[in-house]
Chains A and B, each alone.
Chain A
Amino acid sequence: MSEDIKVDKVLDLKGLPCPMPVVKVSKGIKDVEVGQVIEAHSTDPGSLTDFPAWARTSGNEILKTEQDGEVIKFYIKRNA
């Protein structure tokens, strides 16, 4: 977990291929309030392109992306 970002929910999407990471993150973000942050863990390399595209389209914000070995961690703020 990143020290400077307060995370309200962690979403484990490891091992899931397209389209599941985006489908689940779009559902999962609804579990937090607007302004809160979720941390999503994906192992699908396509997520690196897909998550920003999803965030731009759905009006949410990716605060930070971290790569930890195979796991890509997205810190996403719910704006919409």
Chain B
Amino acid sequence: MQNIKQKPEVMQNIEEQLAALQSRIEVLDKKTPDDKLSMIVFSGDLDKALASFIIATGAVAMGLEAVMFFTFWGTPLLRAKGKKVGGKDTMGKMFGTMLPKGTSDLKLSKMNMAGMGTAMMKSLMKKKNVASLEQMLEMAEQLGIKIYVCEMSMDLMGFKREEMIDYKDLTYCGVAKFLEEANNSRIQLFI
């Protein structure tokens, strides 16, 4: 130590290297993703929506933060069953009627058989104690899972904010918000 102190140029060199290392660590820190899961829910199928919520709630249990982005066919499952809104144009009315109004309207992606398959699956789930999509959504809210809804899908399908579910942490956004979250997440999924 005394040797080093006697050589100021060596000391200065070490200090410079230390400063360079510190700034590198800061850069790396910013680039390290959070313990977070970012998920796009594109599908409006009952089975895929269920899988999305199972993974998201499971992620929270594992100590991760979970963020879900609903876009395209995933958007209508966040409509509230009981809410009615007026002032839609013809296309908006058409989409409003043809697309599911909330989780209970979703169908299986396979074996729907004019609704028979979906009904059978739902009763089987009940029998086997598997949480329903409605229960999963409620649990997601309790667990603090953040929901983002694609503004463009809302606009395309003519959905109004007043007809969406009451969910504690629901925000409308565009692709940049998803990319920001995904860029900062350890896990990214598209369902």
Contacts and interface: CB of A to CB of B under 8 A. Distances in A.
Contact of A54 (B54, B61, B128, B129): B61
Interface in A19-50: 19-20, 22-23, 25-27
Interface of B: 54, 57-58, 60-63, 128-131, 139, 143
Interface in A34-80: 53-54, 57-59, 80
B58 A58 contact: no
A23 B57 contact: yes
Chain A contact patch, size range: 10 to 19
Contacts of B57: 19, 23
Contacts of B131: 20
A18 B61 CA distance: 12
A27 B143 CA distance: 9
Nearest to A57: B62
A15 B128 CA distance: 8
User: Sorted from nearest, which 4 A-B pairs have the closest CB atoms?
Assistant: A26-B61, A19-B58, A58-B63, A22-B61
Contacts of A57: 62-63
A5 interface: no
Contacts of A15: 129
A23 B139 contact: yes
Nearest to B135: A20
30 contacts: A15-B129, A16-B129, A17-B128, A17-B129, A17-B130, A19-B54, A19-B57, A19-B58, A19-B61, A20-B131, A22-B58, A22-B61, A22-B62, A23-B57, A23-B58, A23-B60, A23-B61, A23-B143, A26-B60, A26-B61, A26-B62, A26-B63, A53-B62, A54-B62, A57-B62, A58-B61, A58-B62, A58-B63, A59-B63, A80-B63
